Amino acid sequence: MVDNNTVMKSGKCIECGASEIDGYSCYEMFQFPLVWEHNDPKLYDLHFWLVSCYMIQHPSNYTKDGYNIMINLFIKAYDNKWDTDYILRKNKELVSNVGKITNPLPSHKRKRIFRRWSMTIENIYSGGENNAINNINLWKEIIRKDLKV
C-alpha cells in the first residue's frame, strides 16, 4: 500500500516498521489519535509529542532542515521539560526560519530508510483511546532513548 506519507510492504511500514492493523497503514493509524484529541483536552495537550514522535519515525515526509528542527526541538523540549505553550512558541519561531518543512517530492520519489524503533504509532492505535495519554507519554520517553543524543 502506498499513500502520500507511507509505503507499506508485506504489512509493514518500510520506514518505521509498524505493522498494519485492521487494514490501516501507519499513517492511517496516526489519524485516530488526532481525532481522539478532540474528545479530551488532556490528550490534546500531547499533540506536539504525538506529531513529533510520528514525524521523527518518518523522515522522508520532511525536508532535511524540517526534520533536523523537529529532532532538536523534541530533544530540548523533552530534556528541559518544557510546557506545551513554550514548545509551540519555539516551534513557530523555528519553522518560520525555514522555507519548507515538508518534503516537496512526490511520494514515489522519496528516499525511505528503515530504522527499527522500540515503539511506533501501531502501539498508540492498538492501545486505543482510553490508553492514548499513557501511551503517548511512553512513546516520547522511548523515542528520546532511541535517539541517544
98-148 pLDDT tens trace: 777 888 888 888 999 999 999 999 999 999 999 999 999 999 999 999 998
Residue 149 has pLDDT above 70, yes or no: no
Q: For residues 107 and 109, what is the distance between their CA atoms, to the nearest angstrom?
A: 5
pLDDT of residue 2: 45
33-42, 60-69, 72-81, 125-134: segment of lowest average pLDDT? 60-69
Whether 1 is covered by a domain: the verdict is no
User: 39 in a domain, yes or no?
Assistant: yes
Q: CA angle at residue 21 from 131 to 74, to 5 degrees?
A: 55
Q: What is the pLDDT of residue 102?
A: 85
Instruction: Give the domain range for residue 113.
Output: 8-147
Q: Would you state the pLDDT for residue 107? A: 83
Residue 140 belongs to some domain of the structure: yes
pLDDT above 60: residue 3: no
Give percent helix, percent strand, percent coil of the chain, each to the nearest 5.
Answer: 60, 5, 35
Has residue 60 been placed in a domain?
yes
Whether 2 maps to a domain, the answer reads: no
Task: Report pLDDT digits (tens) over 36-60.
Answer: 999 999 999 999 999 999 999 999 9
Average pLDDT over residues 8-27: 94
pTM as predicted? 0.91
Instruction: Provide the number of structural domains found in the chain.
Output: 1
